[in-house]
Homo-oligomer: A and B are copies of this chain.
Amino acid sequence: MTGSVRIALDAMGGDNAPDIIVEGAALAIARSSDLRFDVFGDEQKLASLLAAKPDVAKVSALHHTPEAIHNEAKPSAALRRGRRSSMRLAIDAVRAGKADAAVSAGNTGALMAMSKVVLGTLPGIDRPAIASVFPAVARNVVILDLGANADCTSENLVQFALMGAVYAHAVNGIERPTVALLNIGTEDLKGDDVVRDAAQFLRENDLPMKFEGFVEGTGLMAGTVDVVVTDGFTGNVALKVAEGTAFWMLDKVKTAVRDSWTAKLGMLLARNSLRRLRSELDPRHYNGAMFVGLGGVVVKSHGGADALGFANAIQVAESLVRTQTNERIGENLTRLHPDDQREAS
C-alpha cells in the first residue's frame, strides 16, 4: 500500500499517557513521511501537548473523550462501561474505515476484548493471538501467542501457525517461512495431545510454510526457525523468562567486575561496543505486538513504554498496513477451511 497511513491513537492508555503518546507520534513522523493520526483522549491535556509538537498537530485530528480504561479494569467491565473511552473510540475508527490501524499502550485484556467485539475475527479464526518479533541469535523470530489465550486447542495452534507464517512473509519478507511448535522435546512423541495433534495437522496439510516439527526453549532463542507457535500461557512465560534472564546476566556481570579495578577499566574500554549492544538489545526497538486474527489492525504497545517505544509501536502498525498483512492472512485462511469458504462465497 502506498499513500498516507492513518492511525487511531488511544492517547490515554499506558503508564505515561498522554505525554508519551504525542511525543511518540512526533518521533514516528520524523522517521516516516506519510502518517496521519486520529488522537482520542482528554482534549484539554492533548491540545497543549499538540501545541508543543506542531509537526504532529498538523497531521492529527483530535477527538475529545473524558473516559479512559483503567489499567486494572476487567475486560468485561471495560466492554460494558467503556463505550466512550479513548481505547474503544480508537478501535471504532478502524471498524468505521476512518483509520487503517489502532495503537494503544492500555490494558491488554480490555484491548483484546474490545477489538474482538468491534472488529470481529477473520473467517476461520476462533481466537485472535498476540504476535511479536524477537531478535534471536540466528534471525528475527515471529512468536505467538504471547498471552491472549492461556488455554489453546490444537486447532488454535494450527491457526496461529498459519497467521505467523503470513506475518513472517509480509513483515520479514521470507518467501516460505519455517515454522515450529514450542515443545519440551523435539521427538514426535513429546508433549501433550494439543501440540502433537497440531503437529500432525501441520505435517499433513499443504500450507504456505515449511513445517519443521517441534522446537525447544533453547531453539527459540537460537533462532532455528522463522516462526515459533505456542499457547498464550507458555508464550508469555517464555518471553518474560527471556527478559528476566537478560536482566539477571547484566546483574551478574556488574557484580563480577565490581571488586576489580582492572575489570572496571576493561569495561570502560569496551564501553562503546557495549553501549551499541545495549542499544541493539533495547526492548523499545521491539515494542509493538500485533493482535493477529482480527478484522482490522490493532497494535499493543507495552504499558510502560516511553516515546521511543511508542514510536516503534506506531511503526509496527504502519508496516502492517503497508504490507497488507491482515488481508494476506485472510486470503490464506481459506486454505484451512476450503469448504466453508466455498459456501460463504
Which residues of A come within 8 Å of B, CB atoms?
72, 74, 136-137, 147, 150-151, 182, 184, 187, 189, 191-192, 216-222, 230, 232-234, 236-249, 251-253, 256-257, 259-260, 262-274, 276-277, 280-281
Contact partners of A241 in chain B: CB under 8 A? 217-218, 220-221, 238, 241-242, 245
- Report Cα–Cα, A259/B277, bound state, in Å: 12
Residue from B232, B238, B269, B271 in contact with A238 in the complex, judged by beta carbons closer than 8 Å: B238
- Smallest Cβ distance from A193 to chain B, in angstroms? 8
How far is it, in angstroms, between the C-alpha of A244 and the C-alpha of B236 when the chains are bound?
Answer: 16
Structural contact, B265 and A233, CB atoms closer than 8 A: no
A274 to B266, CA, bound (A): 11
A233 adjacent to B147 (CB under 8 Å): no
Q: Pick the contact of A137: B237, B248, B273 (CB < 8 A).
A: B248
A263: chain B residues at CB < 8 Å are 269-270, 272-274
Contact B217 A244 (CB under 8 A): yes
- What residues of B have a CB within 8 angstroms of the CB of A182 in the complex? 237
Contact across chains for A216 and B240 when beta carbons are under 8 A apart: yes
CA distance A336 to B189 in the complex (A): 33
Most interface-central of A236, A238, A241, A268 (chain B CB within 10 A): A241
Establish whether residues B272 and A184, one from each chain, have CB atoms under 8 Å apart when the complex forms: no
> Nearest CB to that of A150 among chain B residues?
B192
Please give the count of copies of this chain that the complex contains: 2
Give the residue name and chain of the B residue nearest to A239 (CB). B217
28 contacts between A and B (CB under 8 A): A74-B189, A147-B184, A150-B191, A184-B233, A184-B236, A191-B233, A216-B236, A217-B236, A217-B243, A218-B243, A220-B241, A221-B241, A221-B244, A221-B245, A221-B247, A230-B237, A233-B234, A238-B238, A246-B249, A256-B277, A256-B280, A257-B270, A257-B273, A257-B274, A260-B273, A264-B270, A266-B269, A270-B270
Question: Which residues from chain B contact A274 at a C-beta distance below 8 Å?
Answer: 253, 256-257, 263
Closest to A146 in B: B184
Q: Which of A248, A249, A267 has the most CB of B within 10 A?
A: A248
Beta-carbon contact of B238 and A252 below 8 Å: no
A224 to chain B, nearest CB (A): 10
**A237 and B260 contact, CB distance less than 8 A:** no
- Residue from the list B234, B269, B271, B273 in contact with A269, Cβ < 8 A: B269
How far, in whole Å, are A251 and B259 apart by their CA atoms in the complex? 25
Q: How far is the CB of A230 from chain B (nearest CB, A)?
A: 8
Q: Complex formed: what's the CA distance from A248 to B249 in Å?
A: 11
User: Which residues from chain B contact A233 at a C-beta distance below 8 Å?
Assistant: 184, 191-192, 234
**B267→A270 contact, CB < 8 A:** yes
> Would you give the shortest CB distance from A239 to chain B, in whole angstroms?
7
A239–B245 CA distance with the chains assembled, in angstroms:
10
List the B side residues contacting A268 at CB < 8 Å.
266
Residue of B192, B232, B248 near A221 (CB, 8 A) is B248
Question: Of the candidates B239, B249, B262, which one forms a contact with A272 in the assembled complex, judged by CB atoms under 8 Å apart?
Answer: B262
